[in-house]
Structure 1
């Protein structure tokens, strides 16, 4: 892979609406992640995780969301990939779901650049 490729990850903390967790999981696994990978240049994979019961600290330190998705990014222009994803979330490029809680616990999205090869 050429040296001018920027490697990064996007961490998305997300939460389903109450009583819609099964619908949320189907949408996220079967629709959302495949669309993000297929439709956003630079996003090469996505993997979901659920908050584990086993922790080093007590549950009072639990994050506000139960679900985390890690997207791997390989791009020549991270700013462009960030902009494309931001637009896709609102312009109809990605099919969104009513099962995603965007009011009580809106998604928290953070990009991290690689510090090692």
Structure 2
């Protein structure tokens, strides 16, 4: 099965709403995305220096990566997902879809 990731940079709508943004992202938004067929894991990252956007990396495991991304887009457009009011929209988050081209496994202890 093809594997890939979706990489998304985002930021809270305002600095004073950052805690609310993280709570919504972790407790509402991630579960909504994980309910979409093809999405199998999600991780979030913060910049070490505190400057710049937050990053979400979603792992996909599906026969058609584009179709999974389309299902996510359609869920958002249909109102099946929560409001994005806590996300900074200028500039808007831009999802980037990547296909896996190589992977290694951790070394086994002998």
Q: So what's the TM-score if we normalise by structure 2?
A: 0.85
Is 2:92 the partner of 1:106? yes
**Partner of residue 68, structure 1:** 55
In the TM superposition, structure 1's runs of 4+ consecutive aligned residues that sit over 3 Å from their partners are: none
Kindly indicate whether the alpha-carbon contact (under 8 Å) linking 1:15 and 1:105 is maintained by their aligned counterparts in 2. Answer: no
Paired residue secondary structure (1:21): helix
Specify the SS of the correspondent of 2:12: coil
Structure 1 equivalent of residue 4 of structure 2 = 8
Report the Cα offset of residue 97 of structure 1: 3.3
- Return the structure number with greater relative CO, CA threshold 8 A, min gap 6: 1
Counterpart Cα distance in 1 of 2:83 and 2:31 = 12
Contact 1:10 1:112 in 2 (8 A): yes
Structure 1 alignment gaps of length 5 or more: 55-61
Aligned residues: 102
TM-score by length of 1: 0.80
